[in-house]
Amino acid sequence: MKILNKWVDVRKKQTREVTDMDVTIVKDEDLNSYITLKEVKDLTQPHKIPINGKWITKLDKNYTILEYTPLDKLYNVRVHINDKLQILEYYFDIILENEIRIIDGQEIPFYNDLYLDVIYYQSVATRSDNFILLDDRDELKDALKEGKIDQEEYDLAYSVANSLMEELLEGKNVFVNRGLKDYIKYRKNIIEKA
């Protein structure tokens, strides 16, 4: 197996346009996962994506990204929540591994991104049914051609993605099934500390 070096700091993922946000990171022992709550206070412009022929706002003021970094899975998942507390999508980065780094005395999750992504769009975003998209296949193929990953890592990415998509179709993904539970739990804790 080749040594992939595409490490991502969960505090910074999906926040290009953001100029002000509150970030809370906790470890949930029951889930064997780190949970990062990124609450957007201000940004340079809303981040919009096309879905079903319409532009949907994915990130704006008062939106939240709830991110899970499970220690026993080969994916990281971001839950995009709008200002009406509606889940827009679950965005799964397929990963090779993750690690926890100590930065300024705080445990920060990082993951080694394996290019391939699974996006589970929710009906509030699609304005019809939920649907699953396997994304960045070309990026994964290019990484193999360019020697950034080897065949074993390429196959692993597809294996994890296929298993994950099957879980989603069967309604068995633990993180999707939690809905807004963790947002409400950790948002409440933030409010109580203020």
pTM of this prediction?
0.93
Residue ranges for the chain with pLDDT beneath 70:
1-2, 189-194
Domains, in order of start, for the chain: 7-193 (2.40.380)
Distance of alpha carbon 141 from alpha carbon 150, whole angstroms = 10
Q: How many residues does the chain have?
A: 194
pLDDT of amino acid 187: 85
Contact 61, 36 (CB under 8 A): no
pLDDT tens for 142-161 read 999 999 999 999 999 999 99
CA–CA gap between residue 81 and residue 23 (Å, rounded): 15
| Torsion from C-alpha of 146, 147, 149, 155, nearest 10 degrees | 80
Exposed / middle / buried, residue 178 (Cβ in 10 Å: 0-12, 13-18, 19+) = middle
Cβ atoms of residues 94 and 121 within 8 Å = no
Please state, in angstroms and rounded to a whole number, the distance separating the CA atoms of residues 142 and 102: 33
Strands annotated E in 6-60: 7-9, 18-28, 33-43, 47-51, 54-59
